[in-house]
């Protein structure tokens, strides 16, 4: 059974790094740098988890998170918000929009991977 994560971040270096880390851990990874493409992606596939960047041009992570939560097919999909900011209000806004977790970009290798594995069991456990 495939474990799919959708990564949405306008920074190519960040999407590349997340793609490498997650694939190495055995996940199938869908990546887009354009938040406006997300709804089209979700029309064809339902990921097991979605990682959104907080600050993106055109459609920020908060508004995109709300749109994802408004869809019946992704209403229960875990959403992780990712940002360089550690501001308490940003974290509150992310949670209010429907994000399940909020991570600063320096927490990628530790806390975020722990939460991903907690929400999507390793393939060997399935």
Question: 57 φ, ψ to 5°?
Answer: -75, 150
Q: Of residues 107 and 57, which shows the higher confidence score?
A: 57
Is 55 in contact with 35 (CB distance < 8 Å)?
no
Q: Give the tens place of pLDDT for each residue, 76-115.
A: 999 999 998 888 999 999 999 999 999 988 777 677 778 8
The number of domains in the chain is 1
Q: Which of 126, 123, 103 is nearest to 113 (CA)?
A: 103
Find the domain containing 108 and state its range: 4-125
How large a percentage of the chain has pLDDT more than 90? 70
Question: Is it the case that residue 120 has pLDDT exceeding 80?
Answer: yes
Is 15 in contact with 52 (CB distance < 8 Å)?
no
Question: Is it the case that residue 126 has pLDDT exceeding 70?
Answer: no
- The reply to whether the predicted model has a pTM over 0.95 is no
Give me 30's structure tokens.
Answer: 């869908």
Query: What CATH number did the domain enclosing 95 receive?
Result: 3.40.50.2300
């Amino acid at each position: 059974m495939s474990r799919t994560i959708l990564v949405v971040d306008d920074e190519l270096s960040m999407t590349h790094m997340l793609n490498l880390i997650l694939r190495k851990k055995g996940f199938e990874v869908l990546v887009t740098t354009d938040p406006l493409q997300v709804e089209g992606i979700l029309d064809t596939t339902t990921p097991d988890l979605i990682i959104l960047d907080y600050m993106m041009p055109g459609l920020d992570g908060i508004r995109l998170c709300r749109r994802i939560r408004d869809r019946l097919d992704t209403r229960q999909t875990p959403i992780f918000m990712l940002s360089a900011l550690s501001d308490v209000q940003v974290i509150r806004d992310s949670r209010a929009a429907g994000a399940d977790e909020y991570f600063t970009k320096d927490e990628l290798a530790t806390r975020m991977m722990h939460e991903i594995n907690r929400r999507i069991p390793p393939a060997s456990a399935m």
